[in-house]
Structure 1
Amino acid sequence: MAQRWLDEEQQRIWRTWLSVSELLPRVLDAQLQRDAGLSHAAYVVLAMLSEAPGRSRRMSDLARRANQSQSRLSHTVARLEERGWVRREPSPEDGRGNVAVLTDAGWEVVRSVAPGHVEAVRSALFDPLTDEQTRDLGNALQAVLDRLDPDHSLRLREGADAG
């Protein structure tokens, strides 16, 4: 079978995607560091907890929702615990495993940081696009996600509490 190379247009798009996938998190991290001394990964953990019933989630569920390995999440939560924004408790359902709980202080951080973060996302990702380009981007990303995760085992179920 002949090797399938990227054509010129695909190569341009691929390289653009690589740049965006590196620069966008950097821009969001910079905003969160400036406004709250937080990494984007830590903010996502706080946000996922803020949207959960009782502001708590099992660590395994939180890792999946925050797109972090169990090990990385454990380190992230430990740093948030040091700041008094999260605490870990035994799971009330079965006593096995832990849940992460957003403290009142953590909730205040989310409430104060979220508006600036939303503005940073809007400014970096959506403001440069027309409504049609936004829809096209959403459709294109959905098609790629469907290829990467055809059985939906690596992502949240549609309609689930996606946080």
Structure 2
Amino acid sequence: MQDAAHRPETASELPPPLNADEEVLMRSLSRVIYALPRALDADMAREQRLPLIEYQALMNLSEAPGRQSRMSDLATACEMSLSGMTSVVQRLEGQGFVRRVKCPRDGRAWNAVLTDAGLARLEEAWPTHLASIRRHFLDHLAGLDLHALGVALRDVAT
């Protein structure tokens, strides 16, 4: 149910319909939101045998202070649930790429720590990830103001 402050009272107060360019943009954006991660994941799985979510977890840990992060913070950074991230970290831990340690400030929480092997695996997979991003996304944006686009998308997301 719409809140009263945002509900138009008459037909004359309705927002204007989308023009053709706006319609194409909205429909394309909907498809990109689902298609791009799938394409990146397929490339990573095929060429690196490393699912995209595992790559993202390694990447976020590599950028964290001391190459470690609270599990809940890592889940947020990867846009996952804590239980989903726990499964990802367990797989990475089994491969020796991550280890879990008790959080020193909160004995109930766990931190994920990127190992040297995990950093090496990330560095090995990085060129595939970069090539995939360029091929599936950035190459299609040639000639656009990427800074303005990035700012606009960030604003939409927040």
Normalising to structure 1: TM-score of the pair?
0.79
Could you give the per-residue CA deviations for residues 52-84 of structure 1, whole angstroms, max 9, x where no partner exists?
Answer: 222111111111111111111111111112222
- Larger of the two Rg values belongs to structure: 2
What is the rounded CA distance, in whole Å, between the counterparts of 1:142 and 1:32 in structure 2? Answer: 25
Q: Deviations over 1:81-123 (max 9, x none)?
A: 2222111110123333100011222111101001221121122
Number of the residue aligned with 2:18: 7
Report the equivalent of 2:84.
72
Report percent identity of matched pairs: 39
Partner of residue 153, structure 1: none
- Indicate whether 1:60 and 2:72 are aligned: yes
User: Contact 1:89/1:98 (CA < 8 Å) preserved in 2?
Assistant: yes
Cα contact 2:103–2:111 (8 A) shared by 1: yes
CA distance in 1, matches of 2:131, 2:139: 10
Q: CA RMSD in A?
A: 1.9
Tell me if 1:110 matches 2:95.
Answer: no
User: Structure 1: where are the runs of 5+ without partners?
Assistant: 150-163
**Helix, strand or coil for the counterpart of 1:132?**
coil
TM-score, length basis structure 2:
0.81
* Distance in 2 of aligned mates of 1:128 and 1:73: 31
After TM superposition, list the pairs within 5 Å mapping 1:93-108 onto structure 2. 93-108=105-120
| 1:24 CA drift (Å) | 0.8
Unaligned runs of 5+ in 2: 1-8
Q: Give the corresponding residue for 2:4.
A: none
CA change 1:36–1:81 in 2 (3 A) is same
Cα deviation code 1:15-49 (max 9, x no counterpart): 11111112111111011102221221111111011
Alignment of 1:145-156 (within 5 A): 145=157, 149=158
Runs of 4+ in 1 over 4 A off after TM superposition: 3-6
